[in-house]
Structure 1
């Protein structure tokens, strides 16, 4: 099967790309590298079925390439995912997350794709709810532009399903964590806490620490995307989480135990646009896709910390090999990965 994956150099997208290639599929991986990293695709760099396109999905060149690839399934994960940034720059957020989703949908339609699987948000689209865990039938009540953009993306999915008979499934993800999550980014509290504690840097909790999230391991999330690529779930939004809430304060304590560091965070004022609770009822995903989260939080945190420790050890090793990716000006030289430079040619 031929597939397009946007946001392919991010930690979820790259894990999905690796899984698809292992299963024998051909992948057009699209990422503008604004937050993703080519190193995330190093595991699959020698696979001839992988083609990498560096581009914003809104760009005309990207739309042409995604259309010409004639994929059967499109996985749309590319997004501006920082809630604070969406509050500070809602227009910029809408360009990336609303127009980006529309551009990918239009490419899928034009290419004759069978299905598009969309990464939605299992927290921000629902807002604060009266009962938890939250079912898909709950009223949508986003409290930040990022959540509003995801709701808009889901609305466009329904439009394309009705107008063009494009099969669609939206996966409303909990707080995804695991290997490859950027510890220096604005999102991903597990990786941020773990890396800071390992390096002896201070950690910060915004608010009193009682806010809860539904933390779901990246491999479980990738499994949901793979299952959703089939005919099941057409026209649905499916929650993808564990159904269990963990407070930020509890999370910090668990990570401190894993890395064997003091559990002494600094408490800061709460941030605008942040939710008090996230907890997802994932019964529909189990009924429709046969999916459930398999990796519990303790095991997932251990795996994530082990991955971070491997990175630290490699960085401090005197015999550490040079990066596979050389940078010359604005062009990345990636051995054995075909990279489409049509957009760069168009700019020139």
Structure 2
């Protein structure tokens, strides 16, 4: 089976590519390298340096004729979406429609799409399930959720199956510390270099950290199972930012304290999710506890900093 991964040189998607190749899938990647890195790519993956909004996408689909598309390419910065909502919509909505049209024209059977917890806003209840009310507070949240509607329409109109995977806070090797969601990579890099990282607010914010290899496994199972729908990918566990910092500091073994600064406007206080639906319907459950995932992540940064 052939799988085309958009944004396939990125943090999460490169792990998906690795796992698919390990399982004997034929993998090709489209990425304009605005965030992705060539070094993340397995040399067995065929690579196209193309923006998802370009007409060349149709040429690639015609040549490769993928069975499945894992559509990871996106504008992923909340702050950038606020500053430039037109660019956010151009990439996340128009770019996605380009991929969907190429998929329709060249016989793609299924699309896997990573959504975002940004669509929930401040949670009305915890843990968050797939039926939780949506309250987007940024253009990024709106653009990511809009794609979910397009996927539903393309299934009804053109019979293209889809699975939407709503991730909690993904962490692991290859994560970019310059990103808004990369708190694990930021803590690792700062502590390895003997520097004190910032913690915004009091550090008692609760998050649900899911390891990238578990996320890759969820994508593999979503491809292989005969299911369409929306699923949370998470751990249903509660980790405060203070606890996270303590875990990483203990693993590194450096006596460094964080610097507490004013909380960021718009930050959600507490958020964690339940994976009951994907567990029951697809059979996925997270295998990595926070400590084992952090240990592997730290080993990567120790080798690459």
Fold shared by both chains (TM-score > 0.5) = yes
C-alpha contact 1:124 1:275 (8 A) present in aligned 2? no
Q: Which moved more, 1:178-187 or 1:241-250?
A: 178-187
TM-score (norm 1): 0.84
Deviation at 1:62, TM superposition (A): 2.2
Q: Which moved more, 1:216-225 or 1:269-278?
A: 269-278
CA distance in 1: counterparts of 2:262 and 2:89, whole angstroms: 27
C-alpha contact 1:84 1:273 (8 A) present in aligned 2? no
CA distance in 2: counterparts of 1:125 and 1:278, whole angstroms: 12
Deviation at 1:264, TM superposition (A): 1.5
**Is 1:257 equivalent to 2:220 in the alignment?**
no
- Aligned residue-pair number: 305
C-alpha contact 1:128 1:275 (8 A) present in aligned 2? yes
Q: Secondary structure at 2:298's aligned position in 1?
A: helix
Deviation at 1:66, TM superposition (A): 2.6
Change (3 A) 1:35 1:264: same
Deviation at 1:183, TM superposition (A): 2.6
Report the equivalent of 1:156: 150
Q: Secondary structure at 2:52's aligned position in 1?
A: coil
CA distance in 2: counterparts of 1:162 and 1:256, whole angstroms: 50
Report the equivalent of 2:91: 96
Q: Secondary structure at 1:229's aligned position in 2?
A: helix
Report the equivalent of 1:132: 126
Report the equivalent of 1:329: none
* 1:157-172 to 2 correspondences below 5 Å: 157-172=151-166
CA distance in 1: counterparts of 2:138 and 2:178, whole angstroms: 23
**Is 1:111 equivalent to 2:95 in the alignment?**
no
C-alpha contact 1:183 1:191 (8 A) present in aligned 2? yes
CA distance in 1: counterparts of 2:195 and 2:128, whole angstroms: 35
Report the equivalent of 2:211: 217
* 1:239-254 to 2 correspondences below 5 Å: 239-254=232-247
**Is 1:85 equivalent to 2:87 in the alignment?**
no
1:230 aligned residue (224, 229, 233): 224
How far does the alpha carbon of each residue in 1:309-343 deviate from its partner, in whole angstroms, 9 at most, with x for none?
0113xxxxxxxxxxxxxxxxxxxxxxxxxxxxxxx
How far does the alpha carbon of each residue in 1:174-194 deviate from its partner, in whole angstroms, 9 at most, with x for none?
111111112344431101111
Structure with larger Rg? 1
CA distance in 1: counterparts of 2:25 and 2:278, whole angstroms: 24
C-alpha contact 2:93 2:143 (8 A) present in aligned 1? yes
How far does the alpha carbon of each residue in 1:114-167 deviate from its partner, in whole angstroms, 9 at most, with x for none?
10000111x211111221111101111112221111110111111111111110
Runs of 4+ displaced beyond 3 Å? 184-187
Report the equivalent of 2:183: 189
Deviation at 1:231, TM superposition (A): 4.2
TM-score (norm 2): 0.96
CA distance in 2: counterparts of 1:274 and 1:66, whole angstroms: 39
* 1:55-70 to 2 correspondences below 5 Å: 55-70=50-65
Deviation at 1:103, TM superposition (A): 1.6
**Ranges in structure 1 where 5+ consecutive residues have no aligned partner:** 313-348
**Is 1:308 equivalent to 2:301 in the alignment?**
yes
Report the equivalent of 2:4: 4
CA distance in 2: counterparts of 1:208 and 1:97, whole angstroms: 33
Deviation at 1:241, TM superposition (A): 0.3
CA distance in 1: counterparts of 2:227 and 2:202, whole angstroms: 38
CA distance in 2: counterparts of 1:51 and 1:40, whole angstroms: 13
How far does the alpha carbon of each residue in 1:211-241 deviate from its partner, in whole angstroms, 9 at most, with x for none?
221100011000000110134331x110000
C-alpha contact 1:178 1:300 (8 A) present in aligned 2? yes
CA distance in 2: counterparts of 1:84 and 1:197, whole angstroms: 26
1:53 aligned residue (48, 52, 60): 48
Give the CA RMSD over aligned residues. Answer: 1.4
